[in-house]
Structure 1
Amino acid sequence: MNRTGKVLAALSLGGALALTACAPTAETGNTDGGEPGAVEDSVNVGIIYSKTGPLAAEGDAYYEGLQAGLDYATDGTGQLGNFELNITYHDDGGDPDQAAAVAGELIGEDYKILAGTASSDIALTLADLAARDKVLYISGPAVSDAISGANKYTFRSGGQSMQDAATAGAFLNDLNGKQITVFAQDNTFGQGHLAAAEAALGLQGANVSNLLVPEDVTDFAAFARQLVDAKPDLIYAAWAGASSDSMWQALDRQGAFDIAPIVTGLGEAASYAAFGGASEKISFFSHYFPGAAGTDVEKEMISSVVEAGKEVGQFSPDGFVAGQMIARAVGEGGDDVEQMVTALEGWSFESPQGDATVRASDHGLVQNMYRVALSGDGKQWIPELLKTVPGEDIAPPEIVN
């Protein structure tokens, strides 16, 4: 499948890089937008994502997935019924103020849809703007649970922290009365995963405790020993960053793997080496890795990204689904935001990860996760699917406003 043709022009907008993409008019196929015909109007869509900054890798995977998703959902035309998508791309740089400035200008220029960002802080900022100005906002890889149920106009195209926690808990057959320790860094990332575990696993009867490690710690032996002494039934490790390698080595040396299953999320391929010799002892779950689903839609996504000379990443499906959701919104709602919202609420569709549903109550995305094994020889690391965890089994509690 060929990607949508684009005419690129550099714009200066709110200090961010903007790229304008205009698609040719042609017949559409994979949308609900009605029969194609003469273009009556265009719908402005602003993609605000991390082209640069600390989340640039996530932003790149999202961007490539989005191109594939838009191409798939419009048969490479950029047209939904009689409406053409006018899409511009803007760098948030990982900065909420920069993102808000760009969003404000786009809304002032009659943009109906905003989408993107891997930053939870940015996503929540844009969600507030969406509610205030009544535009559709589709968040990207940002995992904050607060995005679901934020307001009528905010949706998400990716997973959330409580789905991670629920998947981690699913490694035990019965959580009632079980002792689960969240082992994480004492920062926003770690605290967010702790809150998600308390909510998702506590509702199933688990007793959730925590061992939060200050970010400046470099010797993890004492903390590993605390885990061993606590003797929980399961350890949920939520960790990221340069200290990962030494942390896993400390857990291995102190015998933590002999006490309980240690469950953690499998990130991007570039991070696999950090698990080192502990990789075959860790119980991994994954939001996504290439080849995990084996669905026709996933194959379309992979083919499109590879044909563009890029690599599929963990968050490529989030971008692909955003493309599907944008197409659904415009195909059913035209340029009417209220109708777009109605079109997305309760929508079930086939995503790269299999069956997915946009919950009508809080706009959370119910989708599959995966149990994974990771093997390697120190140079090459290969994830292997062990089990698909159905989305309905790990769906977060609904938020009803």
Structure 2
Amino acid sequence: MRATRTRKVMACLGLALAVTVTGCTTTSGTGPAAANDPITVGVVTHLSGPLARYAKPMLDGLKAGVDYATNGSNEVNGRQIVLKVVDDAGDPAKAVAAATGLVGDGTNIIVGTIGSTVATPMVPFAKENNVLYIIASAAGDEFSGANRNTFRAGRQTYQDITAAAAGIGDLQDKKVTVAIQDTAYGRSQAAAVQKVFGAAGAKVDVATATADTTELAPFAAKIAAGRPDFVYVAWSGDTSAALWEAFAQQRVRSSSRVATFLTDRALWPSYGQDAADLTLVAHYDPTIADGPVAKELLARVPQADTFTNDGFVTAQMVVHALQTGDPNDTGSLISALEGWSFEGPKGASTIRADDHALLQPMYTVRMTGLPSDRKLEPLLTLDASKTTPPIVIGPGW
């Protein structure tokens, strides 16, 4: 059993684990690592750009997870784990350039992607360069089954949408509008709603805004004018608060029930005074995940947020792969993870060998309290069997 540490010690995690932060650069190769050399894990993530708000919680979870999974040593078989963090600014080209530099330096483990737009070119990059690639939070269904090099530490879109359907209930003959940005994430969410809600008898249409739109009142007004029974909101990034303000101005929630994915706590006040009427799908929150590993995470990251879980699970996967496989042999790292079942912060989780989908619990919750003091009331806990995505194998497998 791992020793429980005080929160004061946990605050020093960043000092105990070697972490370097760089810009997006490429460097020359250094050759294979010696037996006692540190193991570098490349972390290509959104330190700046529209999804930067999600990167810090993920990084906090990643550092905490390495500490937990190595019993506080931050080593595997006597070799120190070093996290080399590179900012991709949410730009796919910068992400690939950063990963190219890391591979040139001899790194064969790349983690940390937050957004689906960035993950899209990183998935084939992983196969072409034969690296172990673990997506942190990007939710696109298409990344499961894409190739054997690609894994995920967070949930995927199908799991969001099946949990939402369970929270909503009867969808037969209901009119549903999906509100999305024109991004890889938005399109994936819309496709899943059409599939899952449609199979339950709903009539689904999609309202799409460009990703950089900040004036969202006309968009919300158009949704309100359609008077759907339900609106499913699949939104991310810096314009999220503006969307909820526009929904309030246009009284979307006066005529339609609204469901959405529960995002970071900084956004919670934006849900408005009547947040209790929202159907919220929760991937993770420290107030609803209550197993032994959840407690270990919270001891290390007292201010854990939605995507802290994804970093923590990424670390569990990395450490298990290094402990079980050969750090210099990507194939053995992949084999170590395929079919692995483990206890994560959310409970029992399994990496499905067939396509590397992460089977995990999901939740629905109700939000209570004033905007300045939000609380979550758990409604449904859905074990992995209730939200298991279908196996879809892409041509890159």
Cα deviation for residue 129 of structure 1 reads 1.2
Over 3 Å counting, the alpha-carbon distance change for 1:179 and 1:103 in structure 2 is same
| Contact 2:40 2:107 (8 Å CA) reproduced | yes
| Contact 2:21 2:86 (8 Å CA) reproduced | no
Over 3 Å counting, the alpha-carbon distance change for 1:151 and 1:117 in structure 2 is same
Match runs of 1:148-297 below 5 Å: 148-173=144-169, 177-188=172-183, 189-204=185-200, 206-212=202-208, 215=213, 216-219=215-218, 222-228=221-227, 230=228, 232=229, 234-240=230-236, 241=239, 242-250=241-249, 252=251, 255-257=254-256, 261-297=257-293
Gaps of 5+ in 1: 17-38
Q: Of residues 332, 347, 353 in structure 1, which corresponds to 2:346?
A: 353
Match runs of 1:100-119 below 5 Å: 100-119=96-115
Alpha-carbon displacement from aligned partner over 1:143-169 (angstroms, at most 9, x marks no partner):
122211121100011112221111111
Q: Of residues 65, 70, 73 in structure 1, which corresponds to 2:69?
A: 73
Cα deviation for residue 287 of structure 1 reads 1.3
Over 3 Å counting, the alpha-carbon distance change for 1:328 and 1:204 in structure 2 is farther
Give the 4+ runs in structure 1 shifted more than 6 A. none
2: distance between equivalents of 1:7 and 1:190? 35
Alpha-carbon displacement from aligned partner over 1:32-80 (angstroms, at most 9, x marks no partner):
xxxxxxx645433111112222211110010000011100000111222
Q: How many residues align?
A: 368
Alpha-carbon displacement from aligned partner over 1:222-268 (angstroms, at most 9, x marks no partner):
4354342x5x4x432334524323333256477314xxx42222211
Over 3 Å counting, the alpha-carbon distance change for 1:9 and 1:194 in structure 2 is closer
| Contact 1:182 1:238 (8 Å CA) reproduced | no
Alpha-carbon displacement from aligned partner over 1:341-365 (angstroms, at most 9, x marks no partner):
1111111111111111111111111
Match runs of 1:124-163 below 5 Å: 124-163=120-159
2: distance between equivalents of 1:204 and 1:343? 38
1: distance between equivalents of 2:250 and 2:20? 51
Q: Of residues 379, 387, 392 in structure 1, which corresponds to 2:372?
A: 379
Aligned residue identity for 1:179: K
Q: Which moved more, 1:214-223 or 1:377-386?
A: 214-223
The equivalent residue for 2:56 is 60
1: distance between equivalents of 2:116 and 2:223? 30
Instruction: Give the SS at the match of 1:75.
Output: coil
1: distance between equivalents of 2:147 and 2:220? 44
TM-score with structure 1 setting the length: 0.84
Q: Which moved more, 1:327-336 or 1:216-225?
A: 216-225
Aligned residue identity for 2:297: M
| Contact 1:180 1:236 (8 Å CA) reproduced | no
2: distance between equivalents of 1:346 and 1:387? 27
Aligned residue identity for 1:6: L
Gaps of 5+ in 2: 28-34
Instruction: Give the SS at the match of 1:181.
Output: strand
Residue 317, structure 1, aligned to residue 309, structure 2 = yes
2: distance between equivalents of 1:254 and 1:138? 37
Q: Percent identity?
A: 32
Instruction: Give the SS at the match of 2:273.
Output: helix
Cα deviation for residue 103 of structure 1 reads 0.7
The equivalent residue for 1:22 is none
Over 3 Å counting, the alpha-carbon distance change for 1:133 and 1:272 in structure 2 is same
TM-score with structure 2 setting the length: 0.84
| Contact 1:227 1:256 (8 Å CA) reproduced | no
Over 3 Å counting, the alpha-carbon distance change for 1:9 and 1:332 in structure 2 is closer
Cα deviation for residue 282 of structure 1 reads 1.4
Aligned residue identity for 1:148: S
Over 3 Å counting, the alpha-carbon distance change for 1:397 and 1:207 in structure 2 is farther
Aligned residue identity for 2:178: F
Cα deviation for residue 8 of structure 1 reads 5.4
RMSD value over aligned CA atoms? 2.5
